[in-house]
């Protein structure tokens, strides 16, 4: 059987595991460390996990939807996979770098391809102070939480919180509050991608807050700094004519 240098990774969903068996039968089993391409079978959650796992590998990642949402995935087809990979359009995604300091003074570092979120831990709303590039922009935000999203992540949690969608290749970030109580009418802010955001938790003992970078959670934080990591990226592949830029643009005209 011809070796195509393709590694297949599947979520725990039965459909994803079944698809992996079928594709390995057609194209062989290649260990991820020897593969040129990594094919992720599942939904967007599995794709995010794969992006984190292979960020420093230099391998291109091609997703096929065997999950529920699949915004970052291509349609599932078994046939002509090497040809699809050869003709696919690439998009390089850079992560956010998060440093969260907890109430004991310990610093926790993580990266996020979609967003960094700060979320209240208990029944009382969070009180947050927001600074951008060393200047306080919002002295006090009372809310359920706040999101700092990349263009790729702007169609995820940010969109659900009524934040704006960013073009995928734009040099931008977006900050969006979650259920803002005061100031009630503040909706979001769009920043240059090189901006450095500092979010300080006010009254942290009474109003504890957790920080989440994609799937990595840190509880009881007192401050969180967020900036784009310009030194790292991951390459995603999309079928010709259905690249990520087109998907993001189409999402803005959905109703």
Q: Cα-Cα-Cα-Cα dihedral of 99, 102, 104, 105, to 10°?
A: 30
Residues above pLDDT 70, as percent of the chain: 97
pLDDT band at 255 (very low <50, low <70, confident <90, very high): low
| pLDDT (tens digit per residue) in 92-142 | 999 999 999 999 999 999 999 999 999 999 999 999 999 999 999 999 999
At 220 the pLDDT is 98
- Strands 60-65, 234-238: pairing kind: parallel
Q: What CA–CA distance (Å, rounded) separates 205 from 103?
A: 8
Q: Which two tokens stand for residue 185?
A: 């009418």
Q: Are 92 and 63 in contact (CB under 8 A)?
A: no
Q: Quick check: 49 pLDDT over 80?
A: yes
Is CATH 3.40.50.10330 the classification given to domain 6-93+233-251?
yes
At 53 the pLDDT is 96
| pLDDT (tens digit per residue) in 55-99 | 989 999 999 999 877 788 999 999 999 999 999 999 899 999 999
**Per-residue pLDDT averaged across 156-163, rounded?**
93
pTM for the model stands at 0.89
Residues above pLDDT 90, as percent of the chain: 84
Catalytic residues: 44
Distances (CA, A) of 20 to 8, 10, 26, 34, 249: 6, 6, 10, 17, 31
Helix (H, G, I), strand (E, B) or coil at 113: coil
Which residues, 6+ apart, have CB-to-CB distance to 182 below 8 Å?
Answer: 140, 141, 142
Domain ranges of the chain: 6-93+233-251, 96-228
Say which CATH class 96-228 falls into.
mainly beta
């Amino acid at each position: 059987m011809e070796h195509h240098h393709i590694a297949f990774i599947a979520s725990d969903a039965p459909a994803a595991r079944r698809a992996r068996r079928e594709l390995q039968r057609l194209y062989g089993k290649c260990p991820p460390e020897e593969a040129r391409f990594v094919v992720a079978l599942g939904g967007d959650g599995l794709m995010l996990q794969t992006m984190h796992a292979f960020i420093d590998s230099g391998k291109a990642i091609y997703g096929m939807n065997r999950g529920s949402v699949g915004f970052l995935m291509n349609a599932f087809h078994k046939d002509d996979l090497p040809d699809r990979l050869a003709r696919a359009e690439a998009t390089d995604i850079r992560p956010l770098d998060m440093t969260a300091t907890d109430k004991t003074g310990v610093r926790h570092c993580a990266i996020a391809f979609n967003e960094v979120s700060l979320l209240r831990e208990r029944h009382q709303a969070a009180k947050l102070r927001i600074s951008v590039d060393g200047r306080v922009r919002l002295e006090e935000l009372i809310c359920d939480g706040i999101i700092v999203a990349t263009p790729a992540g702007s169609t995820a949690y940010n969109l659900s919180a009524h934040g704006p969608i960013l073009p995928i290749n734009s040099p931008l970030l977006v900050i969006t509050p979650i259920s803002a109580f005061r100031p009630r009418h503040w909706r979001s802010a769009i920043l240059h991608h090189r901006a450095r955001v500092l979010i300080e938790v006010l009254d942290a003992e009474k109003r504890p807050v957790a920080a989440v970078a994609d799937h990595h959670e840190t509880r009881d934080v007192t401050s969180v700094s967020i900036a784009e990591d310009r030194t790292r990226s991951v390459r995603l592949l999309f079928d010709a004519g259905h690249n990520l830029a087109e998907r993001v643009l189409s999402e803005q005209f959905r109703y």
